[in-house]
Structure 1
Amino acid sequence: MTTPEYWGARTVRVEGGLRARSTRGAIGESWWSKRFLAVLESFALGTRLTRGRNYARAGQVLRLDVVPGLVKATVQGSRPEPYKVSIGLATFPDAVWSAVEQALAAEALGAAKLLSGELPPHVEDVFGAAGAPLFPARFADLAMRCSCPDQAVPCKHLAATCYLLAERFDADPFLILLWRGRTRDALLTALRTLRGGGEAEPDPGEASAAGVVSPVGTASALAGLTEPDVEIERFWLPPVPLSDPAPSYVTERDLLLRQLPAPPPELGGPEVLRTLRRWYR
């Protein structure tokens, strides 16, 4: 339980904090940020997540950094000194990353998505096949710590950090991979090398010492190409209809009920939730 000093304390409001872009409703726009939050919310953390979401929208998070294996944040709470927050997640060894890179490079769509700054929908399956789930599967997978006196884990400061982290994932999905131990540059370099048959793509800036690409080399390269056997008018059309990827996350049917506090006695108290849970299942 919390310490008496913590009870009834009023949050110290700050200016210039990191404020969530979402002002109402759910936080997270991309499938990967929603996936991360779905895992977090499946832990049935109740109203602590709601308070954390309010903190994220109020700009109480002062700083948020992602490094391999660790998310570090500073959150202003009810005391003058901001709280130190950390969320640890195990990084993958080089053998796992090598297997993942080989699998992604073997698929043109997956490699193209990553090279354009997106996570392909099947990336979870690739990590799963390598024996390393991309997102935390259990609450114990996250080492969550906060310097506040609230002994609940996660407290609202940790929850606020998670919601802002999800928005960071929206803007830069490579932060998820960085958290697991691979930088953007290292991953993309490996993909280019594997896709190029063992040689990294040359830097266009180094193609010519004078800074001008020679047209002679380009012409000789194009001269050996044969005309593709395709219908030019159908070049931009997909060969087969594309379908949306199937959702890769399945939760319990009573997830919503597990997020709710017990009803007051006049509405039936905890027994109402127990009855509804049986109906949901």
Structure 2
Amino acid sequence: MTDSAGGRFADYGRPRRVDGGLKARSTRGAIGRSWWSRRFLEVLESFALGTRLTRGRSYARAGQVVRLDVAPGEVTAVVQGSRAEPYQVRVALPVFPPALWSRIEEQLAGQAFFSARLLAGDLPGELEELFAEAGAPLFPTGVADLRQRCSCPDFAVPCKHLAATFYLLAEAFDADPFELLHWRGRSRAELLDRLRALRGSGGSSTVDEVAAATVDRPVDAGAEAAPAGAARALAGLTPAPLAETVDRFWVPPVPLPDRPPTLATGPDLLLRQLGAPAPAIGGPGLVERLRRAYRQLGR
């Protein structure tokens, strides 16, 4: 009865056209530009959904997602299918408890280099490690971590409407990585306020200056992504004459961390770089199986 097997739900016809729907910026190939959005999509692609994945990506690119909202523990979307009434989609993910967020924030505030990158709109790779070390992975590790629901008549989960939502959500994370943290229970404003308080007067100016470049904006997967990382932090700066800054030339713009950033990577780095193999040799499902095997061997 599934559409991947040519069952009854594949016979509804083409989806109804949507005016003003959210369209994926990617028009071909893979969706997701940042490492965190690609990491999130690895979970979806590990489901080995076949044509459901393909049709969900087509829905995302055609603008069939009418609305997408991110809230703590819940992503909701409205997706237009072939029926007159759009489908209601919900994807739930447990939020992290306040005590865990407090530990993460203390570590971020203690390393100005990492917190400055985060506040500039760039998720440092070490952030994933911090959550993993705390026993709470930042990203879903499998389909069981997500509670998915769609009002469409297709009983299979995830359906193409859920798949389209995942793709648009990944692009929303590209445009604003704070949305990923918001889904896990910490909004942009809450995180920035907490970091300011922890860093105190000695570090608040650096945090505020960098945070000023990350203004609140609604999730709009069809809009152009704002500059991220160093590009955002440096935007609008006016260079000073060299004679006025030569004595500070070798001084870092933000305090360096007590422990330099590590280049250590997980055993699945090569899998992230290569992408999914062809369907004939296992497809995306093979990537997830190899990743688990590599991690087990790494222990």
Same fold (TM over 0.5): yes
Which residue, out of 11, 18, 21, partners 1:8? 11
Q: Cα 1:247–1:20, aligned 2, differ >3 Å: closer, same or farther?
A: farther
> Paired residue for 2:268, among 247, 250, 258?
250
- Structure 1 pair 203–143 and aligned structure 2 pair: CA distance change class (3 A): closer
Query: What's 1:71 paired with?
Result: 75
Aligned to 1:183: 187
Aligned length: 238
TM superposition shift of 1:170: 0.6
Distance 1:198 1:69 in 2: 34
Counterpart position of 1:35: 39
Q: Which amino acid in the other structure matches residue 33 of structure 1?
A: S
Which of the pair has more CA radius of gyration? 1
Q: Deviations over 1:12-34 (max 9, x none)?
A: 12221100011011111111111
Which residue, out of 162, 171, 178, partners 1:174?
Answer: 178
CA distance in 2, matches of 1:12, 1:108: 50
Q: How high is the TM-score relative to the length of structure 1? A: 0.74
Aligned-partner Cα distance in 2 for 1:126–1:48:
34
Letter in 1 for 2:69: D
Residue 44 (structure 1) aligned to one of 48, 57, 72:
48
Q: Is residue 85 of structure 1 aligned with residue 89 of structure 2?
A: yes
Conservation of the 8 A alpha-carbon contact between 1:189 and 1:200:
no
Structure 2, unaligned runs of 5 or more: 210-245, 291-299
Aligned CA-pair RMSD: 3.5
Q: Which runs of 5+ in 1 are unaligned?
A: 205-229, 264-271
Aligned to 1:141: 145
In structure 1, distance between residues paired with 2:141 and 2:88: 25
Aligned to 1:54: 58
SS in 2 for 1:26: coil
Tell me which of 115, 121, 128 is aligned to 2:132. Answer: 128
Post-superposition CA distance 1:94-123 (Å, at most 9, x none): 000001101111111111112212211110
Tell me how far 1:243 sits from its aligned partner: 9.1
Per-residue deviation at 1:46? 2.5
* Fraction of identical pairs, as percent: 57
* Offset of residue 45 of structure 1: 2.4
